[in-house]
Amino acid sequence: MKILVCISHVPDTTSKINFTDNDTQFDTNGVQFVINPNDEFGLTRAMWFKEKQGASVDVVTVGGAEVEPTLRKALAIGADTAIRVDTPATDGYQVSKQLTAVIKDGGYDLVIAGRESIDYNGGMVPGMVAAMTGASFVNTCISLEIEGTNATAVREIDGGKETVTASLPLVIGGQKGLVEESDLRIPNMRGIMMARKKPLNVVPATDASTETNSVSFEKPEPKGQVTLVDAGDLDKLIDLLHNEAKAI
């Protein structure tokens, strides 16, 4: 089984975010980038298929040379080969077109993507890739088992969970539940050294239009002042909720 894991190169959630050029451009200065958390759950599940079922695991991302440290981390975790599509990631449609070209060229049985990235939260790439490749698609996937060419997946739905079956080729939009946070892997020294010898292939971009553009960015309003109330002073708490917060 050939597996391709789609990796997004995203800012660490602990990074301080700023914008430049009249709030039209994201300022990358001082920002630490990481593997998108939803993608990391998928990568860890792919490693399980590699170890238990002998699958091969490739990782891919769209972007310039600045994304390569993130791909090297994925190789250190255990992926066999990394692919970088040499073009900036501009929007979900353009990224989907680039990934589709890689998928068709590689003949992958299973494509694992995160349900969304934590930077733009578009949530559109896995579904568009499935449509462009003609593969089956399961979104918000929290469990996945493969037997031969058949897959059994569990996905979150409003108010519960749904178990579905599908045939390969399959694209999933994964999230926490594919594995738990305690299952995520930290690259060890041996993995880091081996990653240096694994192939990181840079491929040219295919022609793809950009359908959306970010016009400007805006930070959320800063949090208001907090009023602390003694645990035993219920009268003051009720007064503040009623007269100041207008909550009751």
Look up the CATH superfamily of 2-215: HUPs (3.40.50.620)
Look up residue 244 and give its DSSP letter: I
- Neighbouring-strand partners of residue 108: none
Specify the pLDDT at position 167: 95
Asked if pLDDT for residue 114 goes beyond 90, the answer is yes
Residue 78, C-beta contacts closer than 8 angstroms, at least 6 positions apart = 47, 50, 57, 185, 191
Nearest residue to 105 (alpha-carbon basis) of 201, 38, 19, 191? 201
Spatial strand order of the sheet with 81-86 comes to 160-167, 150-157, 136-147, 170-174, 110-114, 2-6, 56-62, 81-86, 200-204
- What is the pLDDT of the chain when averaged over all its residues? 93
pLDDT digits (tens, 9 = 90+) for 68-106: 999 999 999 999 999 999 999 999 999 999 999 999 999
Q: What's the average model confidence in pLDDT over 2-29?
A: 91
Asked if pLDDT for residue 248 goes beyond 90, the answer is no
Q: What's the average model confidence in pLDDT over 175-192?
A: 91
Per-domain residue ranges of the chain: 2-215
- Residues 7, 99: Cα–Cα separation, whole Å: 10
Strand, helix or coil at 131?
helix
The angle that helices 92-106 and 125-133 make with each other, rounded to 10 degrees, is: 40
231 versus 58: the higher-pLDDT residue is 58
